[in-house]
Amino acid sequence: MATMTEVGFWAGHFILVSSLLLGAYRLRPRLGLSAVIAVVVALQFFQAVLSASYYWEFADGLMATPGSAILFVSNLALLLYAFARDGIATARVILYAIIIGNVVTQLFGGFIAVHIAYSEPANFLAIPPEIFHQGLLTAVVGVCVLYVDQVLALLGFSWLRQRLPMLPVAIPMTFVLVVVLAVDTVLFLSITHWGHEQLGAMITSGVISKSLGGVAFGLVWGMYLQGRRLDQTDDLQQVLRFLFFQDDIDKLREVASRDPLTGLLNRRTFDRLGEHLFDENNRAVSLILCDVDNFKQVNDTLGHAAGDRILEDIADFIAESVREMDFSFRLGGDEFAVVLPRCDAGRAREVYDRLSEFHYQQEGLEQPVTISMGLATFPEDGADLGDLYEQADARLYDAKG
C-alpha cells in the first residue's frame, strides 16, 4: 500500500512535470514552441525507460510507474492544453512532436538493443538490454495507439466543448483524458500481452493509475486554463483537416512575404489572403485595422530610428496578443492589420480590447503613442476581405475622431 511518503513522491512527479511543460509553454511568445518540444522529447526517454523498468505498488496487487501514470498522461494533457489555449494549429505541432519523439526513442533504443545482443559490451551498471527495447510489436503498436489516442482526444474534446460550452474547461478535459487513457490501456495491453496470465491485473493497474493521472492533469491544468483566453472551438471536420495537413491557411504561411522591419506579413500577402479565407469551411473571419496615434511626433521629436523601434514594439505587441493561427500584417507606414480566421465578433472584440492597451510614453513626447482600431467580421460586415477592409477602415476613421 502507498504510504504518505510515496504519495508525496508521486505528487512531486506531477508538480515537476507540470512545471516543466507549462513553464516551457509560457516561453512560447519569446521562443516559439522550441522550448515545449525540447521538454516533450526529453521526457520521452524517461517515459520509455520507466515504463520498461520501475513500478511501485499503490494498492494490493496493483502497480504503477511514473512513466505511464505521469509522463504518458502529460503528453495528452499538453495536447489538449495547447488545443484549448491556442487552437488546432498549435496542437498539431505538439501532436507530431510527441509522435516523432516516440519514434526516435523506439528506433534508437532498438538499435542499441541489437548492438548489445551481437556484441559483448562492458555493462558497469548491470542494465538489462530490454530496458532499451521491448520488441518490434510493442514499438509499432505503441506508436500507432499513441497516434489514435491523440486524435481521439482532440476530437472528443472539441465535440464536448461544442456541445457543452457552459462547462468549465477542466470538466471536458478530465473526462476525455480518463476515457482515452482507459481505451489506450486496454487496446495496447490486449494486443501486446494477449494470453499473458496477468493480463487482467495489468489492465486493471494501468486503467486505475492512468485514470488517476488523467484526473490530476485534467482538473489542475483545466483550472489553470480557466479565466485565460481560450481558442474558439473548431468543428470536427476542421480539426481533421488541420491534423492531416489539408488546410490552405498553413500553405499560405509557407510562402508568405514579410515586412523586413517588423517581421509581420506584408501588404502583398494581405491582398492574396482573401483568396484562401472565404469559403464554406469558415464560419467567421474577423479583421482589425490598426493605425498608430501621434506617430508623426515620434519621428519629428525623437528621430526615425526611434520611430522604427516603436513600430517593432507594436509588431511584437500584436504578435503576442493573437493566436498562433492568426495573421498579423504591417500594411505600410504606421498601419497594421490582424486577420482572425474562425473568429466571430465576440472573440475578435477580446483581441481588440487587448490591442487597445498599447501605450508608449517618453520624455519629449507631448502625447502618448497609442493605437486606434476598426473591427469588421464576416459574414455580418461583408462577403470578402475587400468588404471587411472598407468597413473596418470606416470604423477606424470614426475611432480616430
Active site residues: 334
- What is the distance between the alpha carbons of residues 81 and 58, in angstroms, rounded to a whole number? 28
The partner residues of 328 in beta bridges, in order of sequence, read 338
- What is the distance between the alpha carbons of residues 11 and 216, in angstroms, rounded to a whole number? 10
**Is-contact 153 80, C-beta < 8 A?**
yes
- What is the distance between the alpha carbons of residues 73 and 171, in angstroms, rounded to a whole number? 16
